[in-house]
Structure 1
Amino acid sequence: MDTLETRELRYFLAVAEELHFGRAAERLGMAQPPLSRAIQQLERRLGVALLQRNRRGVALTDAGEILVHEGRAALDATTAAARRTRRAGGADRPGSSRTRLVLAVKAGSSHELLHKLLDAYAVEPDAAEIEVLPSGTCEQGEMLRDGRADVALMHAPFNSLTGFDSEELMTEGQIAILPAGHPLATRTALSLADVSDIPGLPLARWAHDGAYPPGPGPEIRDQTQLAQLIALGRTVAVFPDSARSWLWSEHAAVPLNDAPPVVTHLAWPAHSRSLALAGLIRTATRL
């Protein structure tokens, strides 16, 4: 049997993530015995063991590891299909018949470019409505995969473009954003080494893949929090040069002379056949 049901995948992934049938059943809102039977039935249909069960608990087999990876991608794809279908048909907003695209952007980045793109596209014949959805530093790819967004502004080398089609829009340098009164704020340029180890001013830490990187800097949830902590002299951050557009008077921006350039891409799922999206891409390439 080479077909899988989404219900089976949800059950298996819950067990694989919890590595405990009781916790997985509680998470799914069901009793443990039917969950165990469902996983056993799935293993019989596939002809492989997905889980190793012993007194110490549950562990994934090699085959189980493969299904975790493939199963997550498959569930993301079905979720994305449902979201985009509802959006295309207006089911997510009763009473509206206008085509809508959701554009995911990293909060505070590419501000001027985004303005130009939206203004240029708005005057196009049959332009769709664009909903701009701010996101965290590395969330745009996930939002494209699970259907929360149709298109995204992504930044190499920070965002992975694997699995997406894209158009390169802009290349820029990077800056360090410091408290305006800090001694380094008067410098004409800094290096990455300069900002990585400033006494009393650790680098801010953004969540990536659901976890914060190790380090002494504060865990940042959004741009407003970051801006306030920099102004208070609690942290320093590294951003593309276009981030100057949201700086406060209490901030200072200093170019980084050895940081790799940041390339802004307009990215979308490779399988997309949206005519509205095609129009937005044409506008972006003209810019």
Structure 2
Amino acid sequence: MELRTLRYFVAVAEELHFGRAAVRLHMSQPPLSRAIRQLETEIGAALFHRSAAGVTLTPAGTALLEEARTLLARADQVRVRVAAAAGSATLTVGILGDSTDPGARRLAAVHRRRHPGVEVRIRDTDLTDPTCGLRAGLVDIALTRAPFDETGLTVHELRADRVGAVLRADDPLARRDRLRLADLAGRRWFRFPDGTDPVWQSYWNGGAPREGPVVRAVQECLQAVLWNGTVGMAPLALGHEPPGELVVVPLSDMAPSPVVAAWNEGDPNPLIPSFVRIATAAYRA
């Protein structure tokens, strides 16, 4: 059994859906299905019950999942130890103002326990660069939010959060249970500086051109709302609760904001695969 095939199996076993697993693995579904069928042939047992309702693990699949996770974790440790022996056990991680996210805290704790010999350097970035310095070569991997221009990058989704409109507590719309983007037509929004990734800018402006103050950091966004009644958007997730003078009202017609790990396509850094695997588990806990 190849490690790559075991990674495919673990993705399907955790997602219990071939389509979602294929997206997670950045591949199409047919080769993934073929790889799993080949693995079942090699083992001589069915690993999944397949039905119109989805897939579930067989007893053989449940047994293999535990062993596969152990083998993959061991392979990651080998890569990291070799990197340390080569004097390259340093990983620079870009974080987009999400250091208070519980997922990030779990990731830090688990990564520290598993790889105590790896020095992790954190580069905190503002909202004007969703890749956290990745394209400029300032970081090895970014913990950030999509969508943004993914050209030349590999992007792995860790979680998706609903978003809402950030309003002052005395705003008439703040009393609503939910809003639509049309309810905010004509309002001033906070904007990012010229030159900011247009895909990123468009998402946080609700897909339409906006007028309002230019901001660069989360606190600047919140202060623009507090002082000027500006409208903006924020994730509906732990670690993103606004101050008491502000509220976040869910937006029913906005696509969720994905939390992602991103790195340069084809980067051979042996520390990245282990980091991504630990992050995947930490953000889904």
> Is the CA contact 1:177–1:237 (under 8 Å) kept in the aligned structure 2?
yes
Q: Residues 203-222 of structure 1: matches in 2 within 5 Å?
A: 203-207=189-193, 209-210=195-196, 215-222=210-217
Q: Are 2:187 and 1:192 equivalent residues in the alignment?
A: no
> Is the CA contact 1:104–1:151 (under 8 Å) kept in the aligned structure 2?
yes
Q: Which residue in 1 is equivalent to 2:129?
A: 139
SS of equivalent residue, structure 1 residue 232: helix
1-structure distance, mates of 2:106, 2:259: 14
Q: Residues 93-112 of structure 1: matches in 2 within 5 Å?
A: 99-108=89-98, 111-112=101-102
- Over residues 22-63 of structure 1, what are the superposed CA-to-partner deviations in whole Å (9 max), with x where a residue is unaligned? xxxxxxxxxxxxxxxxxxxxxxxxxxxxxxxxxxxxxxxxxx
Deviation at 1:222, TM superposition (A): 1.7
2-structure distance, mates of 1:130, 1:273: 17
Q: 1:221 to 1:263 in 2, by over 3 A?
A: closer
1-structure distance, mates of 2:256, 2:137: 29
What is the root-mean-square deviation in Å for CA atoms of aligned residues? Answer: 2.8
Counterpart residue type for residue 278 of structure 1: P
Number of residue equivalences: 189
2-structure distance, mates of 1:219, 1:132: 26
Q: 1:108 to 1:178 in 2, by over 3 A?
A: farther
Deviation at 1:136, TM superposition (A): 3.0
2-structure distance, mates of 1:134, 1:170: 20
2-structure distance, mates of 1:163, 1:234: 38
Deviation at 1:271, TM superposition (A): 2.2
Q: TM-score, normalised by structure 1?
A: 0.58
1-structure distance, mates of 2:248, 2:196: 28
If asked which structure has higher relative contact order (CA below 8 Å, sep 6+), I would say 2
2-structure distance, mates of 1:120, 1:196: 44
In structure 1, list runs of 5 or more residues that go unmatched: 1-87, 90-96
Deviation at 1:276, TM superposition (A): 2.2
2-structure distance, mates of 1:271, 1:238: 33
Deviation at 1:247, TM superposition (A): 1.2
Q: TM-score, normalised by structure 2?
A: 0.58
Q: 1:203 to 1:123 in 2, by over 3 A?
A: same
In structure 2, list runs of 5 or more residues that go unmatched: 1-82, 202-208
Q: Which residue in 2 is equivalent to 1:148?
A: 138
Deviation at 1:132, TM superposition (A): 2.7
Give the 4+ runs in structure 1 shifted more than 3 A: 210-215
Counterpart residue type for residue 193 of structure 2: A
- Which of structures 1 and 2 has the bigger CA Rg? 1
Q: Which residue in 1 is equivalent to 2:115?
A: 125
Q: Are 2:156 and 1:167 equivalent residues in the alignment?
A: yes
Deviation at 1:182, TM superposition (A): 0.9
